Structure 1
Amino acid sequence: MSQITATPAQSPDAVNHSSPLQFVGRVLPGFLAWLIAIALFFPIFWMAITAFKTEQQAYIPTIFFVPTLESFREVFARSNYFAFAWNSVLISAGVTIVCLILAVPAAYAMAFFPNKRTQGILLWMLSTKMMPSVGVLVPIYLLWKNSGLLDTVSGLVIVYTLINLPIAVWMAYTYFNEIPKDILEAGRMDGAATWQEIVYLLMPMAVPGLASTALLLIILSWNEAFWSINLSSSNAAPLTVFIASYSSPEGLFWAKLSAASLLAVAPVLIVGWLSQKQLVRGLTFGAVK
């Protein structure tokens, strides 16, 4: 006959002591995640509802009001929104294309032909991001003025490229470093040239990483305010200048400022929301073995 072995029952005290801890362990991470998400999203939420208020209502901290499009009508009547938006598109697209064209070969050389100075060069490139922009504003302003690049799209593209290129190189280097070198060596043995290795072998395998790099470059270029405000006025002014125009010596017009800000951030928010899976996939590329 088969024997049945009884499992000793767990004491009620042990159950009572472990259950609250297990419950807290399950609930706490989710609670903290929601708390952080609300804290990050609240400014955008408040900006959005303020955009649908009148100037008088904008000074009243309440979410219960009769929405109006008055601020949007005044914003469109005062400024050519689409001209600013088009400049932002041109600048963001130009910076993204130029950065990728320069970053991919540089990252390829560092990842597949490293030397003892590779890490030092990467750290030096990233260290330039720590330099305050205001420290080089005057020389760059004078250079751009004397070169005819002031208030031009190409002038802003050059500056934004200099700012964002270290990030693009570092991200591309990280992605390329995770790709097996044997694949490129096999292509080299088959007679592939360097550009063929990059275009036909490397790029298809690094598409998620490069796509996330491109998205990040678009977001950074779209949101850059310091250089656009100081190096452009009308012809090449992007949406960040459009927002700043609603700050005047007379004070801040909160409803109009919120409406202008909502119009400025809406395109990049939509792009970021639609491509969030691709962005997360690219940013975590190679993180999990």
Structure 2
Amino acid sequence: MSEALLDHLEVGVVLLDAQQRIQLWNTWLVRHAGIEESTARNALLSDVFPEVRDSRLQRAIDAALTQRMASLLSPGLNAPLLRLYQRPVDRRVDLRMRQLIHIVPLKGAEGCLIQITDVTASARREDQLRTQSTELRDRTYRDTLTGIGNRRKFDETINMEFRRALRGNTVLSLLMIDIDHFKAYNDSFGHPAGDVCLKMVAKALADGLRDSGDQIARYGGEEFAVVLPATDGAGACLVAERLRTQVEAALATDRHRPVTISVGVGTMHPGAGSTADSLISGADMALYQAKADGRNRVAYFNLDDGNLATLA
């Protein structure tokens, strides 16, 4: 293919000899690299593009020259490497074009051909689609009022963690949390105040979780759930009591009246015949016990031995 024809291609074409010196540098590269053909010719590629040194592109070039191996460097797996820009203004902020780079050994001669395609537009569309997909998934699993996980997220999480605990023969705990006297609060102060209360409780609960995989969700109405993977009864009760006191402190100055929560803790080692619903029922039973014993407290039910107790 003649150099004149190569200059009309809408891709960058570089021809390297065995010493990795540039023997061909087409007009596309002059335009997008800002380097004249007379400057590039016979120069080492790594001198023209210092960023090539010790890069994946350099390793691909070495493989083409020594092993006659072709390579493809995609923008999905590689950050924009070469200093190539769609517009002159992009150069000032180093906004490089997204690049698809082919490296092909020459047939019947020592050297390799590098073809660079500008895939910025398609890469941006893919980025937008990924962002939209993430946002859609986020909306699907997030409670719109409180910003934490919703019931659908909880159902998926508890079943996933139950299966994981069953496979690994590990313990799993669940907290079921209810805002004390919330119906009376709503009736007395109105739904807008109730919504503010729900958001404040959700924030206090989320802020009180450990960074170890604990996951919170709004179970429904004024009820919340916290899944505690690989957490035994003692550990779950410590988390529950910390959350209880944190909510009590955070909402002690509520402009209407202090707000407290009751917490039911369920713990089990999943085994044959047991289900995630068993753990939910156990935590619900403990929550009922906490409310029956006066609210603003934690009760615990161990499904392995049937022990039900309220923390003092």
TM over 0.5: no
| Structure number with higher helix proportion | 1
TM-score (norm 1): 0.19
TM-score (norm 2): 0.18
| Structure number with higher strand proportion | 2
